[in-house]
Each structure stands twice: as structure tokens, then as C-alpha cells.
Chain A
């Protein structure tokens, strides 16, 4: 029952976000700031993780290729499939739940406990529109980040495979192109867009409705991370069932 109550409150919050919009000029600036904080600020760490993850996938695949009948190009194929289908959209989103989600919950939660949200409300500003709407718009650019991550992940796999003498460039590229289905990229971007919306709203919900002081801000960040991950994993399964 408690979960249902939270879900209902979350849905109401989403509707509230779009009511009584903030002044357009202010909103534009807030959106640009959020794009910088949430998207551009995450490129470094996610690209770093992706580069090495691509490399590890290449190494693992190579180590398991002990049958001479299986072509070496499978390394490129495995890197492409794992990075595009799951690693870039899903695993990176879980990493983002830790990085961006905690930041969102703690920043909104701190504003909550220090009466900054009340200050906005007293001034007649819709705090949800002011604080959450720019984050939702910024996260619409999340697929762009994931596109970069896909490229870097495959590059990592290429570097590890080719410069580690596991496969030659030609075979790796053959594997990359083998039975390529463009719809799988579309599927990955649809997933990413939905995960982006989860990443913007679930942590905002936990920050906005938390009660207490500094200790509770920390607790809210942890709870927010757990529930964002749960939401991503469940939605990932549902979308995969529907779209593939």
C-alpha cells in the first residue's frame, strides 16, 4: 500500500511540474545550467567507464573463444551488441543514478530543509516547475550522452582487441558490421529517453518530499538511488519485452 501511495504521489508530482510555468527567460537559463550539470558534467566519468568496459568485453570474449571454428570477428560482434543493447543504455543509467540522482536528491533535499523551497512557494513560484522541469528538459539530451558512450565503449573494445593482438582490425570491423540491425540502436535510444526521465524525476521526488534535517538528506539520497535503480531495471525489462 505504501508503494502505491508513493507512486500516486509521484504521478501527481509529475502533473504539478507542468503547472504554473516559471518565466521563460529564467527557465531557459535554468535548463542550460542543468544540461551543463547533468549531461556535460557526466561525460568524463561515463566515457572513462565505458572505454574500459568495452575493453573488458573484448578481452572476455577473446578468452572464451577456444573453438577454432568460431571466427575471431565475434569479438567485434560481442562488443557491439553488449555496448549498444545493454551497457550504454542500462548500466550507464544505473551509474548515472548514483552520480546525477544523488546530486538531484541532495540538492533539492537541502533546499527543502533550509526553507529555500518554502521561499519559492511564498514568492508565488511553483517550486516543482522551477526545480524539476529544467532537469526533465536537460535529460531529454541524455541520448546524446549515450551515443558518445556507445562510440567510446566500442572504441575501448577495438583498442583492447587490436592493440592486444586478439584480432586484426579487419576482423573486428567485420564483426561490428555483422548482422547489424539499425532498429536495435533505435530501441537503445528509446530506452535511454525513458531512463533519462526516470533519472530526472525519481530523485527529484525523493528530495522534494523528504522531511527532517541533514541526516535525512543523506538517507533520502540512498533511498533515491535504490528506487531509481529498481525503476530502471523494471522498465528495462518491460521495454525489452515490448520493443524487441
Chain B
């Protein structure tokens, strides 16, 4: 579990996060949603330790990030997987080498074992036939799946996904969403997903935090988000014509 207590972060006097308190549960897909500029990415980067908070605590399984030694933080990072918005695959490596990379860096596995584990996970994301290709030779959706395979290959305890289906067609986005949820449940991972895609929220948002202007404006689940009267959330959710029509139909009892 990851706990956040009173997280504050500003840049050049501009407040980005203004006292965030949150809990991200193990074995669940925890989502952070909000419009662009609401502070989602800064929140994630604070959790990852890429930014240092101005105030507040980030607690990984009852261990405060700020109290951890450099070595302990390094160990913690080995227990993290991260799926970046633009995949962030290493251009100079093949798909298989990308997936094997965390194993190579953090385990004492022999090459054969690493290959077996990487190919198992590539099979899981339906990309086994592409293992010798370079990232530039595969599509955006395939790159996302490779990045997901790389993020989970070392069996992380914490998985972070930054807009995992941005720029993907709806079908591929659903495949990625379902994969993330399946892997989260199977390996009992604490998964934190940043998104502003309402389809994803409905599909896999087991717990949802809605950020607005650096504060949590609403918390709930994917079942509750359509029932809330919170104006900030309804403005965000029903900005899509489709969801507006769904709500009208719901109100009419259709």
C-alpha cells in the first residue's frame, strides 16, 4: 500500500499540489484522474521520488520515503515498475532486450533464464513474435505492451502507469487496460494509474481520486463516479457528448 499525507509541491511560487492525502491499495487499480494541468503528473513524480515534496509524507508499506537511505531507496525502485506515457523503450535495444533489461540490472539470472522470463511475459502481452524487432519497427500500441511487459517482468510490488492508453485506438486501449488490471490482481500489485480517459476509468478504476487545482476534489470507485453530484467531477465526466447522453438516459430510467 502507498499512503500520502499532506503532500505539498510548488514551482516558482505556483502551488501545484496543495495538501494531498491519499491511499493506494494493494491488489487494486488505483486511478488518479483530472484535467490537464491539475497536478497529476507532479503527484506521480513525487511518489516516484523524481521530485522532492515541499511538505508531506509518502509512505511505501509503512516506510517513509524521506527516511529511507539511498540504498533502501534504490532497493525500493527495484520493486517498482513504470509504464510511461510514451513507452520510453530504449531505442538501441530489441523488444526482448528491453523486457530483459530490469532482470539484467537487478537479478543474477543467467541469460537463458532471463530470455525465458522475458518471452513468458511477452507471450502474456501477445507479442512473442516481435521479440527480435526494434522499438521503431512496431506500432504505438505494441510499444505500450512491451513497456508494460518491461514494467512487470521483475514482479514489482508497485506499478505506476502514466496515461497508459493516450494516443491509442479504443480497442488497443481496452487491451492495455485489461492487461494492467489482470496483472495487478494476479500478482497483488499496488497499481497507480494516471488517466483522463473516461473509458479506462469505467473499465478498471477500482479506486478513483479526482484532482482539481492541486487538491483532491472527489474520491470513490468507478461505480460511484456516475452517481456523484460533485460539480467538478460531473463537469469533467460529462464533458464528453457520449457520457452526457448516458446520463440523460440514466435520469430517464432507460
Contacts and interface: CB of A to CB of B under 8 A. Distances in A.
B73 interface: yes
A118 B105 contact: no
Contacts of A23: 104-105
A122 B82 contact: yes
Interface stretch (A96-104, A108-116, A147-155): A108-116
Contacts of B76: 124
B217 interface: no
A110 B82 CA distance: 19
Given A26-B104, A124-B74, A125-B105, A119 B50 contact: no
B90 interface: yes
B155 interface: no
A116 B90 contact: yes
A40 to B, nearest CB: 17
B55 to A, nearest CB: 23
Interface in B84-129: 84-86, 88-91, 101-102, 104-106
B208 interface: no
Contact of A122 (B80, B101, B104): B80
The number of chain B residues touching the other chain, given as a range, is 20 to 34
A122 B86 contact: no
Contact of B77 (A26, A110, A111, A124): A124
Interface in B130-178: 160
Contact of A123 (B85, B89, B91, B105): B105
Given A26-B105, A123-B102, A123-B105, A118 B88 contact: yes
B78 A119 contact: no
A124 B84 contact: no
A36 to B, nearest CB: 12
A113 to B, nearest CB: 9
Given A23-B105, A26-B104, A125-B105, A119 B74 contact: no
A115 B91 CA distance: 11
A20 B89 CA distance: 22
Q: Which of B76, B89, B104, B105 has the most CB of A within 10 A?
A: B105
Given A26-B104, A118-B50, A123 B78 contact: yes
A23 B78 CA distance: 14
Interface of chain B, main secondary structure: helix
Interface in A108-159: 110-111, 114-116, 118-119, 121-125
A171 B78 CA distance: 67
Contact of B48 (A20, A110, A116, A122): A122
B78 A116 contact: no
A123 B50 CA distance: 11
Contact of A116 (B74, B91, B105): B91
B135 to A, nearest CB: 10
Contacts of B80: 122-123
A121 B50 contact: yes
Contacts of A122: 48, 50, 77, 80, 82, 160
Nearest to A110: B91
Q: Which of A114, A121, A122 has the most CB of B within 10 A?
A: A122
Nearest to A125: B105
Contacts of B105: 22-23, 26, 123, 125
B50 A20 contact: no
A121 B48 CA distance: 9
Interface string A6-25: 00000000000000101100
B45 to A, nearest CB: 9
Q: 3 nearest interchain CB pairs?
A: A124-B77, A115-B88, A119-B88
27 contacts: A20-B70, A20-B74, A22-B105, A23-B105, A26-B105, A111-B90, A111-B91, A114-B88, A114-B91, A115-B85, A116-B89, A116-B90, A118-B50, A118-B84, A119-B84, A119-B88, A121-B50, A122-B48, A122-B50, A122-B80, A122-B82, A123-B77, A123-B78, A123-B102, A123-B105, A124-B78, A125-B105
Given A26-B105, A114-B86, A123-B102, 16 more contacts: A22-B105, A23-B105, A110-B91, A111-B90, A111-B91, A116-B90, A116-B91, A118-B88, A119-B82, A119-B90, A122-B77, A122-B80, A123-B80, A123-B101, A123-B105, A125-B105
